[in-house]
Amino acid sequence: MLSGKIAVITGAGRGIGRAIALQFTQNGAKVVVNYRNSIAQVEELLDEIKNAGGEAIAVQADISKEAQVKGLIESAVKHFGRLDILVNNAGITKDNLLMRMSEEDFNSVLDINLKGTFLCMKYASSVMLKQRSGKIINISSVVGITGNAGQANYAASKAGVIGLTKAVARELASRGITVNAVAPGFIETDMTVHLPDKVKEASIVGIPLKRFGTAKEIAGTVSFLASDSANYITGQVIQVDGGMVM
């Protein structure tokens, strides 16, 4: 499905990014695992990939810093010779009510979630344009569609990712590059596992499928968008949310 493809996945040390890296390598891709801090988790992931017969390297980079993003993409191309797929998965949350949210917390979330996505697309697309091919998949969120109390910064960043996805999809389409977004709903990750049972139960009430999704289910959708089966799909936002937003 992705045999011989080269992919960069940001924020791939844990959660959804980790699941995408594993899915990609199982499907035959060679992966550049980007991380900022989680070196122990990344080394464990690389071992798992290699033990399963896959190929991956790790590159540390803070995607909110332009020079580091440039270095990330250059490292990928230097090691593997090309770049076929970019998955912008890295993201952070710093939730608070609007009146209590600091400017620093607002800026830091937009710097990683939105500016980081922009920077990665900028440098990856410069490689893909020369190849006249490529797939870019951005991880947004249903919160970027509906909004959510206490997440003004996160919702703004993820809504921005959707607008960015559509704008860049129009820019790059003539060169054979597709750009799409995946908007997860409630997904079982390190962040949600610690939620109180009452919060989980209240959330599930609004999900027609009556459960949280899994990181593997997000990875499956991303893998499809990265494959040749999705060659005629661009500028789309696919909600993987159990029917929560429809």
The catalytic site residues sit at: 154
Contact 238, 141 (CB under 8 A): no
Instruction: Give kind and range of the element (H or E) at residue 183.
Output: strand 177-184
Helices of type H across 27-102: 39-51, 66-80
Q: How many C-beta atoms lie closer than 10 Å to residue 194's C-beta?
A: 8
Whether the CA torsion 165, 30, 1, 211 is positive or negative: it is negative
Contact 124, 71 (CB under 8 A): no
- 205/56 Cα distance (integer angstroms): 40
- 162/31 Cα distance (integer angstroms): 24
C-alpha angle 128/158/189, rounded to 5°?
A: 95
